Structure formats: C-alpha cells, structure tokens
Structure 1
Amino acid sequence: MTRVFVYGTLKKGQPNNCRMEDNGTVKLLARAQTVDPYPLVIATDDNIPFMLNLPGKGQQVRGEIYEVDDNLLKFLDVFESCPELYQRTLVQLEVEEWAGEDEDKLKTGSIVESFVYTTTTYKPEWLQYPTYENYDTYGDHGLKYVCREDR
C-alpha cells in the first residue's frame, strides 16, 4: 500500500472522488496540509487544479491522505498523465485530523511523507494566477472543473 495526498478533484465531495473507489482498494487516512508552501492554481479551459512543484512559493495546501493499492496507484498514474503532465513527488505533510482506524494513529501535528501529483509543466503566466490553500470545484472562485466526459 502507498500513501497518496490528493488536493483537487479526487478529494471527498469533488467530481473525481468516485474514481478512487472504482479502480482499486483505497482508505482515507487523514486530512493534512503540506509542510512547505506550494502554488495551487486553477488553469486551462477545463479549470484543472495544479499543484506546481515549486516548494516555498504559494501557500500550504490542504487535502487528504489516502492509502492505495498497486492497482489504484497504476490507475492514478494514467489518470494524472504521469509522468508527462504530473509527476509523483514525495512531500512532507502535517496531519490535521486522523480519519484512519489503525492502532498506529498519528496525532494532530504529526509529520508524514506521502506522494502527491505535482507538475513542472506549466505556462509562465500560471505563476501570476491566484493560489489556493484548499481546492473546491464549487468554490467562490467561479472556476468549476470540466469533467473529461463533458469536454
């Protein structure tokens, strides 16, 4: 099992969360935020959330840590166009709320490592876009994500 931090459309309540359960074994472990700030921007005509691999810029990004099996990890690599568009990057996360049922429960404030899908492929103007600490497709930014099926 591998830990994956999701910050965008794969989170609970977001348009692609169902893809997590439909393609392998998944378990929500915790809500967390990145230790380092990163730019989380909404870009392209499809309003896709991107976490740019520029640690130290932007804001601490909030999301969810999941434990996924190899089948789901392979699916996520394809879904996230890894390694062409996104890369799987190890980041440090601070646990905000543990959701797992394991005996090895991590306390609030604990630091853990997890993979996250970041991108180094972006247009220079994205660096001028607003950054977000918490993505929600239905947020007041007015940039609702366009699902692949609707493109």
Structure 2
Amino acid sequence: MVVEAETAALIFTYGTLKRGFSNHPLLQDMMATGDASYVGSYRTRDSLPLVCGPYRVPFLLNLPGRGQRVTGELYAVSQRALEKMDELEGLQRGHYERLAIDLVRGDDEEETKKKKRPPDHTAAQAYYAHRSYAEEMWKKNGEEGYCCYTEKVARGYVKRKDRPQTLTFLDQIRLFLNE
C-alpha cells in the first residue's frame, strides 16, 4: 500500500520522529506498511522557537517571528498513520497541537542522488507545544532556541518508558517550568 497523495497529510517532523532519533521507528513501521513516505528535508519559512523541555523533549512553539528557521523532515502520511502520530504526540491530552506550517525545501543529499526534487515551498502540519504552556516554555529557555534538533541538542533525552510513571507528561512540563 502506498500513501495516496489525495488522502495524505504532510507532516513536518523536527525532533524525535526524525531519522536517527528514538521515535523514528514509528515512522519506519508506517513506511513499511505504505502508510507513510519520506518527502524531503525542509525548514520553516518563518522563524519559530525550537526548544527543549523536560527530559530534553523537543518542542516547536507557535510564536512566529521568534527563534530561528527550523530544519526537519517532511513525510506524507495516511489517515491511519496520522491517528498514530496524534496519539504519540498526545493531542487529546493537551501535550501538543497539530497546526499548519509553511516550509521551504532544504538540502538533502539523498534527494540529490535520486534527482528527485520535492516542491520548493509547501504547506504542511507540525506538532507544536500546546498553547497553554508555549509562552512559558519560551521564557524558561531564556528566549533562545535551536535551528535543528541534533544529537548534541538531544543529549540527555529520556525515553518515555524511562520517565517517572507516577506523573503525567503535563505534570512533568509544569514541574520543569516551575524549577
């Protein structure tokens, strides 16, 4: 099964869902079943803050004009895959919000080798930190962000299964913001 363009959502990943990071196996599984496909390397058209919260979890903040242009990966995903991603990102629990984002094509050696060029500019969706704590997260990070979630930036990341199970993720965020 291949993701049908008409039914696919374009999702911009900037953190742990990217290749080489802890949640990428979810996307690999979706690609194996035809529910997702890699589109290319992209970056945000506008500056947006990319910061780390508790356990070095990455958060893109919907605060346009602050931060930097953020680099990430774009995937086309089926409705079934989108539901799995929404669950991972805790949409129903107020962890993240899936909102529109404008992107421009980035440099990707893999695409160049294949001579496959995705569109230079595209509209997609991304998982942003929930608005209920985004501004506080920006302030907690000294109003400084990253242009890319790299191995160096992620150093100290704690996988979900290794975090305290007695607290919800929102509780962990609140504790982080109040430290």
TM-score tier, shorter chain, comes to 0.7 to 0.9
Higher relative strand content: 1
The higher radius of gyration belongs to 2
Letter paired with 1:10: L
Q: 1:59 to 1:122 in 2, by over 3 A?
A: same
| Contact 2:104-2:121 at 8 Å conserved across structures | yes
User: Could you tell me which residue of structure 2 aligns to residue 7 of structure 1?
Assistant: 14
Tell me how large the CA RMSD over aligned residues is.
2.3
Judging by fraction of residues, say which structure has more helix: 2
Further displaced range: 15-24 or 120-129? 120-129
SS in 2 for 1:14: coil
TM-score where L is the length of structure 2:
0.73
Q: Is it true that 1:97 corresponds to 2:107 in the alignment?
A: yes
Aligned residues between the structures:
145
Specify whether residues 2 and 124 from structure 1 end up closer, same or farther in structure 2 by C-alpha distance, changes over 3 A only.
closer
Identify the match of residue 17 of structure 1 among 6, 24, 27: 24
- Which residue in 1 is equivalent to 2:87? 78
In the TM superposition, what are the counterparts of 1:30-109 in structure 2 within 5 Å? 30-44=40-54, 46-83=55-92, 84-97=94-107, 99=111, 105-106=117-118
Aligned to 1:133: 147
One-letter amino acid of the counterpart of residue 134, structure 1: C
Amino acid at match of 1:144: G
* Counterpart Cα distance in 1 of 2:42 and 2:148: 11
> In structure 1, how many angstroms separate the alpha carbons of the residues matched to 2:77 and 2:154?
31
Asked whether the 8 Å contact 1:40–1:58 carries over to 2, the reply is yes
**Identical amino acids, percent of aligned pairs:** 30
The answer to whether residue 155 in structure 2 is matched with residue 146 in structure 1 is no
- Cα distance in 1 for residues equivalent to 2:156 and 2:136: 20
More displaced, 93-102 or 18-27?
93-102
Corresponding residue SS for 1:97: coil
Corresponding residue for residue 27 of structure 1: 37
Structure 2 residue ranges without an equivalent (≥5): 1-7, 164-179
Asked whether the 8 Å contact 2:37–2:77 carries over to 1, the reply is: yes
